[in-house]
Structure 1
Amino acid sequence: WAPRLRPLTWVISKQLLPVYDKPMVYYPLNTLVSAGIKDILIIIAPENSGLFLNLLGTGEEFGVHFSYVVQKEPRGLADAFIIGEDFIDGDNITMVLGDNIFDYDFSEHIKNFKSGGQIYVKKLDDIETIKRLGVVELDNNHKVLSIEEKPANPKSMYVSVGLYTYDSRVVKIAKNLQPSARGEIEISGNPSINNTFLEMKELEAKIFDGFWEDAGNFDTLLNAGNYMSQKNKNQKT
């Protein structure tokens, strides 16, 4: 797992690597906690389960409740909704990826969510960066017109980030997904969770302008750490 951060990830989970003064996983968890989410399911690989339990515990330190489930094999991101079906229990669900670092308050977007699928997008300036990400084309009402993974000719400057909100139908959708070319069931791409909601004309995007970094390689990991370091210094002055 996490080949872009090897050799570190040969011996430790990517989400336990430091981003400035905290383990990476603290930041996506804080994104959920600051949005008012009190019950959080953490999906972990069997070889790292003890490390996460020792680090995070019951969630008391965060003022919330953590549950855990082990993903025995990497079947894809959308598998989270299948193995988390009992936890979801017919409710709406917000998912954050463990390597996505945000400095933004999503609470209003999540609180006001009603149904369907809701993705979160950020406008970027660098076209070469955009070409490496999931590009989202929007209409004037922020309904999603298309999502393209790593397009040669992007249709917009908006990219999808690793935060998603869905209604409970996401479980059934995930169960019915066919694996992608890489053999996994996907959240984005074709076929995927997002594409299914898009075909149903029930996929909306929320634009945000705060800090975001996918800390999945050494450069972005360093950038996220530098940002948090500077933020910490600014708060002390």
Structure 2
Amino acid sequence: MKAIILSGGKGTRLRPLTYTGAKQLVPVANKPILWYGIESIVAAGITEIGIIISPETGGEVQSKTGNGDRFGAQITYIKQEQPLGLAHAVKVAQPFLGDSPFVMYLGDNLVQSELDLFLDKFKSQHLDALTLLCEVENPSAFGVAKVDSDGNVLELIEKPKNPPSNLALVGVYLFSPEIHHAIANIQPSARGELEITDAIQYLIDKQKSVASFQLSGWWLDTGKKDDLLAANQIILDTCLELTIEGAIDEPSKISGRVHIGKGSQIINSMIRGPVTIGDNCQITNCFIGPYSSIADNTTLIDIDLEHSVILQGATLEGINDRIVDSLVGERAHLKAAPQRPKALRFMVGDDSTIELT
């Protein structure tokens, strides 16, 4: 069994942040989204992983993620020259996959599920495709599955006006080598892409064994700012433990589950968890409220912050109004002039400088 993780695309929904970087490397709880998928796959016992990358951001994905040693995996990078669909990504990866069954995992998804159960069903029932499904409130915004009482997939419909169910396709799939034949026999959709839903529908139409597995936990597509902030909140709620590796002075107060990384200094500040602070950060005269993630080498001076994600190397100083629901890019610099607005909400790209006047 092998795996491929899709880590291409242009990340248009997270611009301007993703003008300068891959959306799959945006951190949730100070860890790139992509790495959660890798860890989940390795935990299921799959160590041969191909990562589909784009020409624009592939170099960054490769340099930050490496050859897989840190995960106990062997990673092969596969370039998809143009974003021509999920099925096209599988087609590009076919030389890596060979005749092996495989997991396909969308790199900007977070799923609360152990893949072992998914794999067990695929293997025990000798399936050609297994789709992971999740109940959603707005199925018209997703690919939707129509299933029978045994969970067999009868039909897949992309963003239907009249959904046959509320079961959306989660970005995790399992395939036998039959999927390559299916992809070879489909045509590009109206938007010019080879759709994985069309390939699965081809298998269904040819009476191949296509089943579903319904997710009982949460599923998060982190393609938008608010989705990413929601993912950050859930991960901090479920995974964070109290660990203090940096220095905290006497006036500072720490409450709840807080991680403070090595070399970080907390001076005359209050931090109320869940909060994670990376390595070599300087936090001075600040209040850091719940559900905040602050990456390595960040400086915060005279800042009131909560429910926000601050990326590596950013500097925020002298903003006395509370910052909430914000995503601030790498090396961005936010500072206040003497006259300031009373309510602030940001989405700031890498290398930005903002002065509030």
TM-score by length of 1: 0.91
**What is the alpha-carbon distance in structure 1 between the residues aligned to residue 210 and residue 121 of structure 2?**
15
- Report how far residue 235 of structure 1 moved: 8.1
**What is the alpha-carbon distance in structure 1 between the residues aligned to residue 242 and residue 133 of structure 2?**
27
Query: Out of 125, 142, 162, which is 1:133 matched to?
Result: 142
Q: 1:2 is matched with which residue?
A: 11
Whether 1:200 and 2:206 are equivalent positions in the alignment is yes
- Cα distance per residue 1:6-45 (max 9 Å; x no partner): 1112111111111121111112222212222110000111
- Cα distance per residue 1:73-96 (max 9 Å; x no partner): 112111122111121111111100
Is the contact between residue 179 and residue 200 of structure 2 (CA under 8 Å) also seen in structure 1?
A: no
Is the contact between residue 68 and residue 75 of structure 2 (CA under 8 Å) also seen in structure 1?
A: yes
Q: 1:229 is matched with which residue?
A: 236
Q: 2:225 is matched with which residue?
A: 218
Q: Which amino acid is the alignment partner of residue 119 of structure 1?
A: T
SS of 2:70 mapped into structure 1 = helix
| 1:96-175 map, 5 Å | 96-113=105-122, 114-124=126-136, 126=137, 129-175=138-184
Q: 1:91 is matched with which residue?
A: 100
**What is the alpha-carbon distance in structure 2 between the residues aligned to residue 233 and residue 17 of structure 1?**
18
**What is the alpha-carbon distance in structure 1 between the residues aligned to residue 39 and residue 186 of structure 2?**
30
Structure ranking higher in helix proportion: 1
CA root-mean-square deviation: 1.7
Unmatched tracts of structure 1, length 5 or more: none
**What is the alpha-carbon distance in structure 2 between the residues aligned to residue 49 and residue 152 of structure 1?**
36
SS of 1:47 mapped into structure 2 = coil
**Moved segments of 4+, more than 3 Å:** 233-237
Q: 1:22 is matched with which residue?
A: 31
SS of 2:240 mapped into structure 1 = helix
- Report how far residue 183 of structure 1 moved: 0.4
- Report how far residue 48 of structure 1 moved: 2.0
Aligned residues: 231
**What is the alpha-carbon distance in structure 2 between the residues aligned to residue 234 and residue 152 of structure 1?**
44
SS of 1:72 mapped into structure 2 = coil
TM-score by length of 2: 0.62
Identity of aligned residues (%): 32
Larger RCO (CA within 8 A; separation ≥ 6): 1
Q: 1:72 is matched with which residue?
A: 81
Query: Out of 65, 77, 87, which is 1:56 matched to?
Result: 65
- Cα distance per residue 1:191-212 (max 9 Å; x no partner): x112112212322101121221
Structure ranking higher in strand proportion: 2
Larger radius of gyration: 2
